Amino acid sequence: MGRPSRRALQALSVRGVELQGVGCQQAVGTVSPRAVLRYKQWVLEPDVEPDSEPVTYAMQCAVDEETSPASEDWVAPQDWVLEHCGKHPSHHTYREIITRPWRAWRRT
Ligand SMILES: [Zn+2]
């Protein structure tokens, strides 16, 4: 777990998804009766490291909430929808569920 490479950060800013936040006020010492407080900056970003979990897709029927198996491509979930339509001709609305790995790391 280190900081992402510069290349990863550039790719993220191109996609416009880099988020930054300041939080987690922490006491780092007690040199006086008052605690010394320092803000830590956290960065939240999609995990694009080679060992990250895969992005997966699934489809869910909005009528009965039955859900397709998750898949790393969207073809199988869409095929599942067509099959589901065949079995339930009155079910016309679906949700796409995308699971994307993210990571948070503390900027030093
Ligand atoms: Zn259904």
Q: How far is residue 32's CA from residue 41's CA, in Å, rounded to a whole number? A: 24
Q: How many domains does the chain have?
A: 1
Distance, CA 76 to ligand 1 centroid (Å)? Answer: 16
Question: Model pTM greater than 0.85?
Answer: no
Distance, CA 85 to ligand 1 centroid (Å)? Answer: 7
Examine residue 89 and state whether it is found in any structural domain, yes or no.
Answer: yes
What's the average pLDDT block by block, 10 residues per block, for the chain (108 residues)?
A: 44 40 43 59 92 97 98 97 98 98 89
Examine residue 22 and state whether it is found in any structural domain, yes or no.
Answer: yes
**Which range marks the domain in which residue 58 is found?**
6-107
Q: How far is residue 98's CA from residue 95's CA, in Å, rounded to a whole number? A: 10
Distance, CA 72 to ligand 1 centroid (Å)? Answer: 22
Examine residue 1 and state whether it is found in any structural domain, yes or no.
Answer: no
Q: Which amino acid is at 38?
A: R
Q: H or E segment at 75?
A: helix 75-87
Distance, CA 54 to ligand 1 centroid (Å)? Answer: 27
Strand partners, 23: 40
Distance, CA 67 to ligand 1 centroid (Å)? Answer: 9
DSSP 5: P
DSSP 90: T
What is the pLDDT at residue 82?
A: 97
Neighbours of 41 (CB within 10 A): 13
Examine residue 16 and state whether it is found in any structural domain, yes or no.
Answer: yes
Per-residue buried b or exposed e for 5-17, using 16+ beta carbons within 10 Å of the residue's own CB: eeeeeebbeeeee
Distance, CA 101 to ligand 1 centroid (Å)? Answer: 28
